[in-house]
Amino acid sequence: MEMVLTLFLLPVVASLFLVLSPNVRVQYVLSGAVLALLSITAFSLYNSPNILTFHFPQTLNTFVVAADIVLLLFFLYQGKKYDSPKVIILAIVQLVLFLYIEHASPGHSAQVVIDGLTKFTMEYSPSSTNSAEIVVDELSKFMFLIINIVGGIIVLYSVRYMEDEPVSPLKKQLFIGALLVFLSVMNLIVCANSLMLFFFLFEMTTLASYVLIAFRNDETSRANALKALWMNQIGGVVILLGALIAIKGFETVMLDTLMQRSGGWVLLSIALLAMAALVKGASIPFEGWLLGAMVAPTPVSAMLHSATMVKIAPYLILRLAPVIGSTAVGGMISIIGSLVFVAASYLALSRSVFKEILGYSTVALLGLMMALAAIGTKESIMLAMALMLFHALSKALLFLSAGVLERVHHAKNIEEMKGMVSRSPKTVGFIIFGFMSLTLPPFGLFMGKMFAIASVASLLHERPLLLIVVLSLIVGSALLVLLYFKVASALLASSSDVLPSQATPLPLGFGIPLWLLAFLTVGMAGGYIMMQQKMSVMVLALPLIFVILLPVIVRSMNGYDRSQPYHCGEKESFDSALVYYKPSHYMQQAMYWSFGILFISVAIFGALS
């Protein structure tokens, strides 16, 4: 249990030291030490066969309830402060539901007074406390690997990134400290067994989104932060509705107990939790909050999109998979996820901002992970987990590389990245490698998608509707290849009349995190292949050599003549990087309404099953 407590407490303690330390060297040393300790602890837990449980003492339960109310009141205050009716209404709905659930919970005895205004009690009956509030099982341990290794690397990267941020030193330290606290919250949420504790931590991640997106405190940042707030509040509402059904129908707030029950509206309660996953995973039509996060500093985008925040979505579907796998609810989530995979890949082709392109591809791949997880077979669950791991590594690498281009070269749009290979060959090398790891063998995402097509196709005789998933896998994967080719062509291409410029050295504070992610991607890919196919470790030779030599390869491309073709004496201008495939306004609206209806249908199927 000491190792689990380390994951919960170490990031919080380290954040306090970081806030108190203005010395950048100390911040580097502390961030590196935290990364090492969290990684070692996560690996040790992953290799431990034991399932650990932890029962909250009464005082801690009381603290969680009080903190929940304070948090919801804070959301209400923010809605009033910035005149956001959606935030206000959703905060009130959550507050009413939460207080009613606490009042309706059986076995009350301990009274809590918040600001002298609200009195309620929170001790659950024995039927709701047979299970522990914290359960650390195999899925939790797997999530620890993603959260602490990838998240820790992002924290290390953020130290260098914040050096050039035009804010006060204290605000820089608070930013890095907030990222560390966020890791602690994520470590807790992936082993929360109590629905009320899960709701509190879910809302804590919503708070983190709101605060971090609004970090720069300009009008655009604030608007996007408020969008993230109200959209994620929808997820909080459906979690509370699911908890209310669990308490009223089954007298429990423990997820493992609920999943063992049958009859009644148990599947509706589970379906509502699954709907919260669709919101947190930014499935269409909720992708706006995730794309809005791009205005925040790059470590925020990387943390939200790769390592932690959005991984709640496939994690929760994986947690619910034993119940929904063979039901209409699971089938509907698989269909939604697979269609999101195609739609988001297509919408990404209409974007020119590099981080927005990466954001849409994240939405697409999250949809695929949830689709596979909801199928519920052992093989599909393992494939979803593999995609989660490799996506975290590859997408963190891409986002952090995008941050280098933004910070060092002030380039955000792909139009501004023409010929970037000559100005930043190492960074371009990392980006191309990131694209390779998402699309080509022997890397995990390619192998995972290949195995997924075979696995899902084998189920078609039992579940014909899974044909939608198979077709979506094929079409969505092709669209993503086209998308990455579009960006890569901008990075590598340059006009023939533009002379190569002097390369800008990659700062060490950026380079170390990028190299760590690249080597982890290669190492994890090799381990996955050997585990699946019993192949030799020599299969890693090619990609490993490519990682090392890629900066040299792309740098040498400066000597090539990239003149445009001539037709009838006139130069024909064509640039694949600037080709856009934007849907019409009516098509986009129809797409959003369709996905909105599918989202609501999850609850309908849960009620009818």
Are 507 and 580 within one domain? yes
Are 356 and 235 within one domain? no
Residue 298 lies in a domain: no
Whether the per-residue pLDDT at 212 is higher than 70: the answer is: yes
Are 107 and 245 within one domain? yes
Percent of the chain with pLDDT over 90: 25
Q: 336 or 442, which is more confident?
A: 336
Cβ–Cβ < 8 Å for 225, 90:
no
> Of 193, 218, 237, which residue constitutes the final position of a domain?
193
Half-sphere exposure of 120 (CA within 13 A, CB side): 24
Handedness of CA 54, 58, 59, 62 (dihedral sign): positive
- Over range 414-429, report the average pLDDT: 79
| 6: amino acid identity, one letter | T
Are 450 and 534 within one domain? yes
Are 523 and 578 within one domain? yes
Q: Rounded to whole angstroms, what are the CA distances from 269 to 311, 320, 332? A: 21, 11, 15
Let me know the angle formed at the C-alpha of 93 by 89 and 97, rounded to the nearest 5 degrees: 170
Alpha-carbon gap, residue 428 to 430, rounded angstroms: 5
> Of 140, 163, 193, which residue constitutes the final position of a domain?
193
Residue 303 lies in a domain: no
Categorize the per-residue pLDDT at 570 as very low, low, confident or very high, splitting at 50, 70 and 90. low
Are 400 and 498 within one domain? yes
User: What is the reported pLDDT for 550?
Assistant: 55
> The tokens of 583 are what?
């849907």
Categorize the per-residue pLDDT at 114 as very low, low, confident or very high, splitting at 50, 70 and 90. very low
- E strands, 1-98, are 52-54
Handedness of CA 446, 282, 42, 253 (dihedral sign): negative
Averaged confidence pLDDT in the chain = 81
Neighbour tally for 18: CB within 10 Å: 25
Give the pLDDT confidence of 327-376 residue by residue, as tens digits.
Answer: 888 889 999 999 999 988 888 888 888 888 888 889 999 999 999 999 98
Residue 208 lies in a domain: yes
Evaluate the omega torsion of the peptide bond into residue 285 and state whether it is cis, within 30 degrees of 0: yes
Residue 522 lies in a domain: yes
Alpha-carbon gap, residue 207 to 97, rounded angstroms: 19
Alpha-carbon gap, residue 200 to 189, rounded angstroms: 9
Residue 286 lies in a domain: no
Half-sphere exposure of 254 (CA within 13 A, CB side): 20
Whether the per-residue pLDDT at 116 is higher than 50: the answer is: no
Residue 469 lies in a domain: yes
Give the pLDDT confidence of 244-278 residue by residue, as tens digits.
Answer: 998 888 888 888 888 888 776 888 889 999 999 99
Let me know the angle formed at the C-alpha of 586 by 583 and 590, rounded to the nearest 5 degrees: 95
Q: In terms of DSSP H, where are the helices of 410-443?
A: 420-423, 425-439
User: What is the reported pLDDT for 529?
Assistant: 53
User: What is the reported pLDDT for 37?
Assistant: 93
Give the pLDDT confidence of 469-524 residue by residue, as tens digits.
Answer: 889 988 988 888 888 888 887 787 765 555 556 777 788 888 899 999 988 888 77
Count of domains for the chain: 3
Are 525 and 505 within one domain? yes
Q: Rounded to whole angstroms, what are the CA distances from 366 to 149, 229, 313, 348, 382? A: 20, 20, 8, 14, 15
Sole residue written with tokens 């590099």: 354
Are 332 and 472 within one domain? yes
Q: Which residues of 142-152 are buried (b: 16+ CB within 10 A; e: fewer)?
A: bbbbbbbbbbb
Are 181 and 223 within one domain? no
Q: Rounded to whole angstroms, what are the CA distances from 3 to 74, 132, 146? A: 33, 18, 16
Are 153 and 200 within one domain? no
> The tokens of 70 are what?
């304070």
Q: Rounded to whole angstroms, what are the CA distances from 240 to 96, 273, 390, 602? A: 10, 9, 32, 16
Let me know the angle formed at the C-alpha of 201 by 195 and 206, rounded to the nearest 5 degrees: 125
Q: What DSSP string describes 523-581?
A: HHHHHHHHHHH---GGGGHHHHHHHHHHHHHHHGGGGS--PPPEETTEEPP--GGG---
Smallest CA-to-CA distance from 366 within 443, 445, 436 is with 445
Percent of the chain with pLDDT over 70: 83
Q: 580 or 558, which is more confident?
A: 580
> The tokens of 260 are what?
């063992």
Containing 159, the helix (H) or strand (E) segment is helix 151-163
DSSP state of 462: T
Q: Which residues of 361-380 are buried (b: 16+ CB within 10 A; e: fewer)?
A: bbbbbbbbbbbbbbbbbebb
Residue 307 lies in a domain: no
Q: Rounded to whole angstroms, what are the CA distances from 242 to 81, 88, 543? A: 30, 21, 46
Residue 285 lies in a domain: no
Smallest CA-to-CA distance from 421 within 413, 228, 74, 430 is with 430
Write the Ramachandran bin of 264: left for phi over 0, alpha for psi from -120 to 50, otherwise beta: left
Are 329 and 360 within one domain? yes
Cβ–Cβ < 8 Å for 213, 299:
no
> Of 224, 255, 280, which residue constitutes the final position of a domain?
280
Give the pLDDT confidence of 123-146 residue by residue, as tens digits.
Answer: 333 333 457 888 888 999 999 999
Alpha-carbon gap, residue 557 to 559, rounded angstroms: 5
- Over range 48-72, report the average pLDDT: 86
Domain limits at 77?
57-121+195-280
Are 146 and 233 within one domain? no
